[in-house]
Structures are given as C-alpha cells and as structure tokens.
Amino acid sequence: MTQTQIIAARLALLAAILAAWALLPKYGVLDPRLLPPLGDVLAMLGKQLARSQVQEAIGVTALEVVVAFVIAVPIGAAIGVAAAEFEYFGQIFKPMLFYVFSVPKSIFLPMFILIFGIGFPQKVAYAAFSTVFIVIMSATAAVESVKADHVLVARSCGATKAQILWRIYVPSMMPVLLETLRISMIFNFTGVMIAEMYASRTGIGHLIANWGENFQMPELFAGVIMLSVVAICFNEAVRLLEVRVSKWRT
Amino acid sequence: MTAIEVDRLSHIYAGAEGGVPALEDISMTVEAGKFVVIVGPSGCGKTSLLMMLAGLRHQSTGTILCDGRPITDPDPSRVGVVFQEASLFPWLTALDNTEFPLALRGTPRDERRRRAEDMLNLVGLQGFGARFPHELSGGMKQRVSIARGLVQDPPVLLMDEPFAALDEQTRMTMGHELLRIWSKTRKTVVFITHSLTEAVYLADEVLVMSARPGRIVDRIAIDLPRPRTYEMMATDTFGKLRERIWQQIRKPEGTLS
Ligand SMILES: Nc1ncnc2c1ncn2[C@@H]1O[C@H](COP(=O)(O)OP(=O)(O)OP(=O)(O)O)[C@@H](O)[C@H]1O
Ligand SMILES: [Mg+2]
C-alpha cells in the first residue's frame, strides 16, 4: 500500500468508529443510556467546557500534571543517568529500582493520602512517584544507547568532557529521551487521574468519577473525549519531534 | 626525520593475579612519511598499542614520542585515527562528520566547510557531503573516516583494521586509494591489519608481533617499487615476503627469532 492509501484507510477507520458511535445508539442497536450518541456527547462537551466549575477543574488538573511532570522527569533522569554512568551506584541501586518498578504504584495511593492529606500535594506527589521509575529506567537505557566507539572517536578528535556530553551523549540519547518524555507523560497523566478519581474535591478525574457514579453518561463521555484529545495531542507532538531527531536511526 | 618513537613500552591490564600483560618491551621508530603495517595474531595487543600511540590509553611503562614530543593525551593536530567500522556519527552528514574535529576546536564555519570539502574531494567523495552514514556504502564510510582523520592535517595517521569489514574487492580498491591519498599527502601511516596481502601491498615496513604478551618479533622491509600495482601481488618477491611474515606469525608463542 502507498502512504496515501494507508492514511486514507486510517481516516476511514476513524470515520467508521465515529459514525457507529453517532448512529448505533440513536437507532437503538446500542443502549443510548450506556453509550449516548456522539452528537449528544459533543453537545454536552461544549456545555461542560462553558461551566466555570469545569474550567476550574481543568486548571487544577493541568497544574497537577505539569508540576508532577516537572518534578519527576529531572529527578528520574538524574538517578537514571547516575545508575548508568557510575558503576557502583548502578550496581547497588539498580536491582532495588527494578523491583519497585514492577510493583503497581496505585497500591501506595492510600499512603500518600495519609501523608499528604487530600489535595494538590498528594496528587502531585503520587503522580510524580508513579512516573519517576519509568523515567529512571528509560534514562538508564538512553545512556546505555550511547556507543563507546563514538565516545572513543570523539576523544581521538580531541573532544573535552563537556564536548563529549554535548556532541555525543545528547544526540545519541535524544531519540530515547523524547520517547521517555512521551511515555512518562502517559504514566504521569494516569497517576494524576487515579489520584483524583480515588479521593478528591476537584479536578477532571474527580468530575469523571462523580459523573460515572451518578450515571451521567453524556458528561462522562464528554470528559473522556476531553482528556483523550489532550493526551493524544501531547503524545503526537513529542512523537513528531522524535521522528525528526531520529531520522538518522534507520 | 623520526615521526614516531616508542621506547621500551610495556602494558599490563589490571585484572586478577597481577593483571594481564598485553604488551612487552615494544621499541620502534617510524621515519616520517613511511607506511608501516603492524600484523600479529588476534589479541596480541595491536589495538592496545595503537590506542597508546593515539593518546587514548596510557601505557604502564615506556615512552612514546611523536614529532619529538611525548604523547599523553589525544592530539588530533599531531595524530589522526581511523577505526575499524561504524565509527562515523550516524546523526551527522558526511560533511559534518569530516568537520567534527575542526568544530571541536572552534574553527570558523567557512574554513571548516572548505577544509572538510577538500578532504572529501581528496578521498573521492565529492558531492556526497550531504549524505548520512546510513546512505553510504561501507567503503564510502571508511573514506569519510579517512577524511575525518586527515582534516586537521596531522603528520601521523593511525589506522586500526580500517578495511576489515569490507568485502574483498572493495578492500583492494580502498588499499589502492589509501596509497594514492598517502602519496599525495606524505603522511606517516601506522596501519594494523590481519591480511598479509594487504600488509605487503601497502607497507614500506611490516612489524610482526608475537602472541600475548605482544612483542615485536620481526621487522620486514618491503622493497617493492612504488607505485604499487595489483600485478605485483602475483610476483615471486611478493609471495616470498608474504610467506616470511606468515612464518613469523605462526611461530609458537614464546620463540623469538
Ligand atoms: N580494556 C581492557 N581491559 C583488559 N584487558 C584488555 C583490554 N583491552 C584489551 N585487553 C586484552 O589485551 C590483549 C590485547 O588486546 P588488543 O585488543 O590490543 O589485541 P589486538 O591485537 O588488537 O586483537 P585483534 O587482532 O583481535 O583486534 C587481549 O588479550 C585483550 O583481552
Ligand atoms: Mg584490534
């Protein structure tokens, strides 16, 4: 298949799903109480976005996501790079990190509530916690993706430590780093949502949990669409960048 | 004039039971403009020696002089290095790869470009500057590596099995090309290879190393006329020289001639 054909097929798939969503509930093939037609959901989305309570919740959630991300990524990257670069540090800490990485982070949520209470700090702390391990793992992988041969060549060309870092490490690691950014955002976003849905007074996750409990399906799906669009946009933006900096990787 | 002078160099890699002796009492002198080839069994320390000549690794004892001054750290203005393969930076174009050593020194962009382009022309890659390494053949990649090694115009070029990863035909062509480049630039070349034919074809002098710990067990002057031609490979002299090197290499460990 040519590229155009593939894109056409993808658009057709999307259109088919949206059409099914719009039509099947309308004609009673699917229960509209469980899956309201797309049109109703979009109308509800517009209505909700106009409400100040929803706007406020979006603001809170966005801030939590950003703050948790800004905390988790540098800390995780620093630990990950250290684990890869400093042999002893890595040998001592790596197994522990791997163990904790394998445990589902949500089981620690009650602890975060006990420590931080319910609110902004608890959401941020929990989301950062659930993100930091994937950042550590990926940063380690990123450092390990730097080829020793390339470092050697750079040294033979007279590169200083700083030049090796900037001209060899950074470009070698960039594709993996962007991938890390993308994947850790998924973890981070999930962390905030879980924390908000579990126990919260505000935020989109809290609203979605409420709508679900009260069987407000159009609202619930409006929330789902809203979050999906934001998540997909971030993901695709980073991925575009990733493709651009990894051109040489083929 | 002497380009490289190695005096009683030994090296022991740290490890169990006092370490691994890799090189033992290596002394050698390379006259400026000469093409010297080092051969020896796998693991005899050829790469280690080359790394020390390049200032990339410190020997346990002994000294290395290049242009009369000791080598302790990499100095691309005195010594250029070409490695076996895949040593180009895949995220840089052929031109940017060639420029790399100059960029490190902060050479102005225009001059950098000009010199890198000159080098690419010299190695026969005019018009390929914008290609990325994955868009080049193995032979072309090694041409870029040579261009990069020469871009700072060092008097000495070190090459560690630069053509080992190439197919035989490309390898022959590259050897021939290298001689052309060498005769144009009059560099001092130290070249490591496992191919005895390549060794005889390229060298003014072949140094034969023994198995671990590596020592120089023979120095064979190759007095074939230059420019070398493929036809020479079929001559008696060529065969005899090749045979002599082979006899030295296959000698059991520990016997000195
Ligand atoms: N970094 C190192 N640490 C410990 N031992 C090493 C190291 N590098 C090389 N050696 C050992 O030193 C000896 C010489 O290695 P070297 O790579 O110099 O040999 P070589 O002649 O280049 O071999 P080849 O022909 O296979 O390339 C080998 O026995 C090798 O195992
Ligand atoms: Mg070697």
3-state DSSP helix/strand/coil % of chain B, to nearest 5: 35, 25, 40
Q: Residue B227 has which token pair?
A: 């420019």
Q: What is the ipTM of this complex?
A: 0.89
Intervals of chain A under pLDDT 50: none
Which of B38, B39, B48, B192 best tests ligand 1's pocket when mutated (most atoms within 8 Å of CB)? B48
Cα–ligand 2 centroid distance for A99 (angstroms) = 39
Cα–ligand 2 centroid distance for A214 (angstroms) = 72
Contact A163 B104 (CB under 8 A): yes
Mean pLDDT of all residues belonging to chain B: 91
- The strand pairing partners of B96, in sequence order, are none
Q: Is A249's Cβ below 8 Å from some Cβ in B?
A: yes
Nearest to B90 among A154, A160, A248 (CB): A248
Cβ-contact B82, B250 below 8 angstroms: no
Residue A167: per-residue pLDDT: 94
**Strand duo B61-66 + B2-13: pairing:** antiparallel
Block residue for tokens 């950074």: A170
Helix A170-198, helix A120-144: angle, nearest 10? 150
Say which residues have a Cβ less than 8 Å from residue A118's Cβ, sequence separation at least 6.
Answer: A199, A200, A201
Tens of pLDDT, residues B38-81 = 999 999 999 999 999 999 999 999 999 998 899 999 998 999 99
Tens of pLDDT, residues B93-139 = 999 999 999 999 999 999 999 999 999 999 999 999 999 999 999 99
Separation between Cα atoms, residue B33 and residue B156, nearest integer Å: 8
Cβ-contact A226, A219 below 8 angstroms: no
Q: Which of A157, A174, A245 to mutate to test the interface with B (most CBs of B within 10 A)?
A: A157
Contact A153 B89 (CB under 8 A): yes
Residue B38: per-residue pLDDT: 96
C-alpha A126, offset from chain centre: 14
Q: Is B2 helix (H, G, I), strand (E, B) or coil?
A: strand
Q: Does domain A39-248 have CATH number 1.10.3720.10?
A: yes
CA angle B58, B63, B64 (to 5 degrees): 85
B28-38 mean pLDDT: 95
Cβ-contact A57, A120 below 8 angstroms: no
Is the pLDDT confidence value at B84 over 50?
A: yes
Separation between Cα atoms, residue A82 and residue A88, nearest integer Å: 10
Residue span(s) of chain B under CATH 3.40.50.300 come to 29-58+68-78+156-256
Residue A97: per-residue pLDDT: 87
Cα–ligand 1 centroid distance for B47 (angstroms) = 7
Contact A150 B89 (CB under 8 A): yes
User: CB under 6 Å to ligand 1: residues?
Assistant: B 13, 15, 20, 22, 40, 42-48, 212
Is the pLDDT confidence value at B223 over 60?
A: yes
Q: In chain A, what residues touch B79 (CB-CB under 8 Å)? A: 156
Cα–ligand 2 centroid distance for B144 (angstroms) = 21
Residue B257: per-residue pLDDT: 46
Positive or negative: CA dihedral B62, B65, B68, B74: negative
Cα–ligand 2 centroid distance for B131 (angstroms) = 29
Predicted TM-score (pTM) of this structure: 0.82
Q: In chain B, what residues touch A156 (CB-CB under 8 Å)? A: 54, 56, 74, 76, 79-81, 83
Q: Give the ranges where A51-169 is alpha helix by DSSP (H).
A: 52-85, 87-102, 109-116, 120-144, 148-156, 161-164
Contact A156 B81 (CB under 8 A): yes
Positive or negative: CA dihedral B100, B145, A162, A239: positive
| Phi, psi values for residue A80, rounded to 5° | -65, -45
B29-58+68-78+156-256: CATH superfamily: P-loop containing nucleotide triphosphate hydrolases (3.40.50.300)
Separation between Cα atoms, residue B61 and residue A18, nearest integer Å: 75
Q: Residue A133 has which token pair?
A: 């391990």
| B85, closest residue in chain A (CA to CA) | A149
Residues from B contacting A (CB-CB < 8 Å) are 54, 56, 74-77, 79-81, 83, 86-87, 89-92, 100-101, 103-105, 132-134, 148
Residue B248: per-residue pLDDT: 85
Cβ-contact B56, A155 below 8 angstroms: yes
Nearest to A158 among B90, B105, B132 (CB): B105
Cβ-contact B81, B150 below 8 angstroms: no
Residue B253: per-residue pLDDT: 55
Q: Which of A149, A156, A245 to mutate to test the interface with B (most CBs of B within 10 A)?
A: A156
Element (H, E) at B31: strand B20-31
